[in-house]
Amino acid sequence: MTTSTTVTDPHDEACPGCRKTVGVRQVLATPPGVYEGACSGCGMGWAITTVNPQPYLDRLTAAVERLTAARSLSRRLHALAEEAPMITNEELRDRLLALADRARALP
């Protein structure tokens, strides 16, 4: 048995079928995170669920980690450019190769 309530506020959810708010009711006996509605005007029923944000957050976290690593690498390269006139060519080459190795290791 499902329990429902009729939506009386015209600013509430409209029916996706007929776009009217009159006769729209929310079904209350639904799982958490699910909004279920029904329209007595056109007979349409629908459910809206929340999207699991975890995959998005995982990708966002990975992107932030990559950007942080790239920013660190950029800072080191900038510092090396400022030190370049004061160090030997061999040391400059070695440090550039080390930075290149770090850049290749970025995810």
Count of structural domains, the chain: 2
Q: Tell me: do 94 and 71 sit in the same domain.
A: yes
Q: Averaged over 72-84, what is the pLDDT?
A: 94
Q: Tell me: do 37 and 64 sit in the same domain.
A: no
Q: How confident is the model at residue 48 (pLDDT cuts 50, 70, 90)?
A: confident
Q: What's the pLDDT score for residue 12?
A: 65
Q: Over 70: is that where the pLDDT of 65 sits?
A: yes
Q: What's the pLDDT score for residue 57?
A: 81
Q: Tell me: do 36 and 63 sit in the same domain.
A: no
Q: Tell me: do 68 and 32 sit in the same domain.
A: no
- Cα end-to-end span (Å), the chain: 52
Q: Tell me: do 66 and 89 sit in the same domain.
A: yes
Q: Tell me: do 40 and 26 sit in the same domain.
A: yes
For residue 72, give its domain range.
Answer: 54-105
Q: Averaged over 47-51, what is the pLDDT?
A: 80
Q: What's the pLDDT score for residue 34?
A: 82
Q: What's the pLDDT score for residue 10?
A: 38
Q: Averaged over 49-56, what is the pLDDT?
A: 74
Cα separation, 69 vs 66, in Å, equals: 5
Q: Averaged over 20-32, what is the pLDDT?
A: 81
Each residue of 58-88: b (16+ CB within 10 Å) or e? eeeeeeeeeeeeeeebeeeeeebeeeeeeee
